[in-house]
Amino acid sequence: MFNNEMKLEFISKSSNEAFARIAVAAFASQLDPTIEELADIKTAVSEAVTNSIIHGYDKKQGVVKISAWLKNNEIIIEISDKGKGIENIEQAKEPLYTTKPNLERSGMGFTIMESFMDKMNVESVIGLGTKITMSKIIKPKIENDEDEFKMLMTTNS
């Protein structure tokens, strides 16, 4: 069913954010994404991981888990924590909504994940944790090569 799968676990330190997004991007590169598609994935991963670290676990230490799957030309990414959970998911997803305005947060994390990925889903239980699932279709580039090949063939004959 899936063409490939990976799992990653790390403790909730913000110094792991760069590592997490680069690891997922390296995995996604098997689908031959454009630089822009790769940047979208990196940004969305960074948003979800940061949320787990600063909201989910706050100042406590915990584990952030990432699973990712490649299915045909789609990447599916799941990012979860066992932190404090979200009380009102609909409200949390609203642009500019943040529970930490004093820490220079802008409340745009979920909005960015939604617009940089094709799909985004939030599951959360108070006291148990939060799981973000998102996916993105990487547009295949092989067709262009085929077109080019056909063109070459016709001009040659």
CA distance 59 to 132: 20
Give catalytic status of residue 36 as yes or no: no
Q: Scanning residues 73 to 132, which ones bind ligand ATP (CB under 6 A)?
A: 81, 83-86, 92, 97-100, 105-110, 130
Q: In this complex, which beta carbon is closest to other proteins, that of residue 3 or of residue 34? A: 34
Q: In this complex, which beta carbon is closest to Mg ion, that of residue 30 or of residue 106? A: 106
- Nearest distance in Å: CB 105, Mg ion: 6
CA distance 82 to 124: 10
Q: What character string, x for contact with ligand ATP (CB under 6 A) and - otherwise, covers 3-42? A: ----------------------------------------
**DSSP letter for each residue of 78-132:** EEEE-SS--S-HHHHHSTT--S-GGGT--S-HHHHHHHHSSEEEEEEETTTEEEE
Helix 35-51 to helix 109-116 angle (10° resolution) is 150
- Nearest distance in Å: CB 43, other proteins: 5
- Nearest distance in Å: CB 106, ligand ATP: 4
Give catalytic status of residue 102 as yes or no: no
CA distance 115 to 105: 18
